[in-house]
Amino acid sequence: MAKDQQELMKEAAWKACELVDDGMVVGLGTGRTAAHAVRRIGEMVKGGIRVVGIPTSEATGRLAVEVGIEVSTLDEHDSVDLTIDGADEVTPELDLIKGLGGALLREKIIARHTRREIIVADASKAVERLGTRAPLPVEVLRFGHRATAREIAHLGCEPVLRMTGAKPFVTDGGNYTYDCRFPEGIHEARRTESEMNNIPGVVENGLFLGLAKDAILAGEDGLRILRR
């Protein structure tokens, strides 16, 4: 019987966990796929390895504690040996869009201080150009957020305030998120990243460029591994 997609995603997450070694500081990603990795690392800890986890969100931190992983912060550790996380889009060069799970700011901070970032994603997330399937999440301050969104729109996208029911979605940092659709995708990702972050009120955006070292993509044909 063919494996369903969730079984493949779990298999991909477990494959990434093969890189976790005794004594490592490990960044713990956010989202359903990353949760498979967190639970697997919890099993490895129960099996006797010593791991310190640095979660990318409050939800991941709670899960890590639940499965028995020691949790710490970047204030206590200068760098992270390995981070396992998901992505919303992945290019062949391993540039990413992340943030639909609502944790892009902490994810990017941890990724920036990680020696090896490995991405686990559904094969459908593979794209040739960023922004062609997923919107670009942009975290903004609540103060003047609509004015910030108007400036964001000048970069050629349509920003939509993310909602939870009738209220705006609030990140762990207490900010709002705009999901920005680019009609033809993002043609110059590095320029867009810089221009986006130069807008007053923008805290961070979901372009993760040059940060990932590996990706494991799970599809109906099995697992495909990309390396940079």
Show the 3-state SS of 128-155: CCCCCCCCEEEEECCCCHHHHHHHHHCC
> Which residues 6+ apart lie within 8 Å of 92 measured at CB?
126, 128, 226
| Closest among 117, 144, 139 to 29, alpha carbons compared | 117
Structure tokens belonging to residue 54: 């640095």
Tell me how far apart the alpha carbons of residues 114 and 83 are, in angstroms, rounded to a whole number. Answer: 7
Residue 205 near residue 109, CB atoms below 8 Å: no
Give the type of residue at 96: L
How many Cβ atoms sit within 10 Å of the Cβ of residue 182? 18
Active site residue 107: yes
Q: Which of these is catalytic: 7, 18, 43, 107? A: 107
Structure tokens belonging to residue 145: 């957020």
Report the DSSP beta bridge partners of residue 55: 28
Report the DSSP beta bridge partners of residue 53: 26, 71
Residue 158 near residue 181, CB atoms below 8 Å: yes
* Inter-axis angle of helices 5-17 and 32-46, nearest 10: 50
Residues recognised as catalytic = 107
